[in-house]
Amino acid sequence: MKFIISSSLTFLKNHLVKIFFIGSAIWLLIVFSDFLLPSILPGFQNNLFRFTAKSVCHASPGKLISDGSGSTLVCARCTGIYTGVFAAALTALILSSAIKIKSKYFRNAFWIVTSVMIFDVFADDFGLYGYSHFFSFIIGLIWGLIVQFIIFEKT
């Protein structure tokens, strides 16, 4: 039993980047399904995607990225986070171990970006300024990249 658990953990560690890449690519297809597959998706499948997305994000209609013909299934910030995870996995796949950045820089950046994100949430909630899709997306993107690189650095 110990061998099975050990070999499973070794497999996961060796393939972590690929797992995150494939998983985040599939998830982004779901997040952008309104844009990518609007006429192809039957009602049930589209509702299933929306239900799944709402389980990980508030998905308030005013905070979704929309172009009039469709919208993301999660808010701009979450879309940025998932895009950052995908971008980090893609970068790690392409560059593999060609670059090594010390985790202390990522940890410092993590706390700075997390603080900015928390401030943005409270500032929007208390009406200090209006919601910015662009700012929320960019902060989410940076946060997703940083968190993913911290995870990859630990493996």
User: Is the model's pLDDT at 85 over the cut of 60?
Assistant: yes
What share of the chain has pLDDT > 70, as a percent? 79
Please report, as a single letter, which amino acid is at residue 72: T
Mean pLDDT of the 34-54 span: 70
Give residue-wise pLDDT tens across range 111-128.
Answer: 999 999 999 999 988 999
Instruction: Enter the pTM of the model.
Output: 0.83
Q: Confidence band (pLDDT; 50, 70, 90) for 99?
A: low
Q: What is the chain's length?
A: 155
Residues 99, 62: Cα–Cα separation, whole Å: 39
Residues 65, 41: Cα–Cα separation, whole Å: 19
pLDDT at 6 (0 to 100)? 54
Burial of 56-75, coded b for 16+ CB within 10 Å and e otherwise, reads ebebeeebbbeeeebbbbbb
- For residues 94 and 86, the answer to whether their CB atoms sit within 8 Å is no
Burial of 105-134, coded b for 16+ CB within 10 Å and e otherwise, reads ebeebbeebeeebeebeeebeeeeeebebe
Highest mean pLDDT among 26-30, 78-82, 97-101: 78-82
User: Is the model's pLDDT at 154 over the cut of 70?
Assistant: no
Give residue-wise pLDDT tens across range 55-69.
Answer: 888 888 899 998 877
Q: What mean pLDDT value characterizes the chain?
A: 82
Give residue-wise pLDDT tens across range 1-35.
Answer: 555 555 555 666 668 888 889 999 999 988 888 87
Q: Confidence band (pLDDT; 50, 70, 90) for 41?
A: low
Contacts of 152 (CB under 8 A, 6+ apart): 16, 17, 88, 92
DSSP string, 54-73: HTT----GGGEEE-SS-EEE
User: Is the model's pLDDT at 48 over the cut of 80?
Assistant: no
